[in-house]
Amino acid sequence: MDVDVATEILHRLPVRSLLLFKCVSKLWMTLISDSYFKIKHLNHAKNDVNSQKILVNQRCSYIEEFSLYCSSLSSVQQVEHLHKFDCPSNIKSWHHTLYCCYHGMALIVFYNYKVDSVPLLWNPSTRESIVLPPPKIFPRDYCTWGLGYDSTTDDYKILKIDKKSCSEILALKSSSWRLMDKHPIHDVHRMLTSTDSLVFVHRDIPLPKQMYLKKFREWGVSVLEGMCCAYSHYVSRIENVFKFWIMKDYVNESWTELFTIQGTNLQSAISKYMFSDGEVLLCREHLRRCCYVFRISKGPFGVWPQSNVILKGFVYFDLSKFN
């Protein structure tokens, strides 16, 4: 069979079938393992509504309990069936945190009683996981993590940043951590916990000029479809306004106001996903509580899923089955 024809056929198959087909021949093994094929396979999944899932981390009564669930994104008003995942590792910990999803993989960090952190890269589609080597420095204060893909080296990279400005980056192929220069960001919580993937910014990016016209109560940044986003919440005696902007070309003039919500208690909202019709899935924090819920940017602004125990959620693409 011609290689191009085989590629067109195989990239439409679910990942579990591809794992079996690797054993057909050395040619198919090489083809399926190629980085170009992997990206083509992922892009096909992104365009299939059946593969679009949301992975949520719920608050549970027992802190040691693994509480990751997934649901389809096709039903945006109410989740009727949540699928609970088994813990992908036998790591003994008292707490775990889901930090991000990227290219169908999730980055989870387990914490033990010694405040040590054990990062784990997990594929929800295949249930496969890799326990990553521990970082060189264990922060005693708040830290956050990110995951990204470097196309120049065909390698995944994991970033860890703590409040003391001590950053480390791990290249998955080498399995070695490297200390980075101190970052100029003072509020590390705002910088990374809102994103679904790792984004490196090599220069200052000014916020929308409209944000400086009024003294807002809350603000934040995130990433949506590879574009920088910003939000602000302004409250006065006569106004209660939430605004959301998107930067299309990474120049100050390209900031565009995506939507405005009047008379709302929505203080913060992080962009998670943009649907084909332009509607945006947001993660919101309600009244400074730790409980996160989801809502759609266009009316009626109903909470989705209907749950008050969600801590975090990230969109990923289920490669185990799609059309």
DSSP-derived secondary structure letter, 303: B
Query: What pLDDT band is residue 298 in, cutting at 50, 70 and 90?
Result: low
Rounded to two decimals, the pTM is 0.72
Dihedral angle over CA of 213, 216, 222, 226, nearest 10: -20
Q: 136: left (phi > 0), else alpha (psi -120 to 50), else beta?
A: alpha
Mean residue pLDDT across the chain: 73
Q: Is residue 133 part of a domain?
A: no
Q: What is the pLDDT of residue 296?
A: 58
3 within domain boundaries: yes
Q: Pick 288 or 296 by higher pLDDT.
A: 296
Is residue 19 one of the residues assigned to a domain?
yes
Helix and strand element counts for the chain (H, E): 5, 19
pLDDT value at residue 154: 82
pLDDT bin (cut points 50, 70, 90) of residue 191 is very low
Q: Which domain holds residue 11?
A: 1-47
Does any domain span residue 20? Answer: yes
| Confidence bin at 188 (pLDDT 50/70/90) | very low
Confidence class for position 82, pLDDT limits 50, 70, 90: low
Look at 77 and 64; give whichever has higher pLDDT.
64
User: How much is the pLDDT for 279?
Assistant: 74
The answer to whether residue 40 is domain-embedded is yes
CA 229 → CA 117, 168, 225, 245, 257, distances in Å? 30, 25, 10, 6, 10
Residue with the bigger pLDDT between 193 and 159: it is 159
pLDDT at position 66: 58
The total number of structural domains that make up the chain: 1
How many Å apart are CA 250 and CA 259, to the nearest integer? 19
| Angle subtended by helix axes 3-10 and 26-33, to nearest 10 | 60
- 173 φ/ψ angles, rounded to the nearest 5 degrees: -65, -40
For 236-263, the pLDDT digits (tens) are 777 788 888 888 887 778 898 888 877 7
Confidence of residue 54 (pLDDT cuts 50, 70, 90): confident
> Tell me, what's the pLDDT at 253?
82
Whether residue 238 lies inside any domain: the answer is no
Residue 21 lies in a domain: yes
pLDDT of residue 77: 43
- By mean pLDDT, which of 46-60, 70-84, 227-241, 266-280 is the weakest? 70-84
Whether 288 shows a pLDDT value over 50: the answer reads no
Q: Are 228 and 247 in contact (CB under 8 A)?
A: yes
In a domain, 221, yes or no: no
Tell me what pLDDT residue 299 has: 55
Confidence class of residue 81 from pLDDT cuts 50, 70 and 90?
low
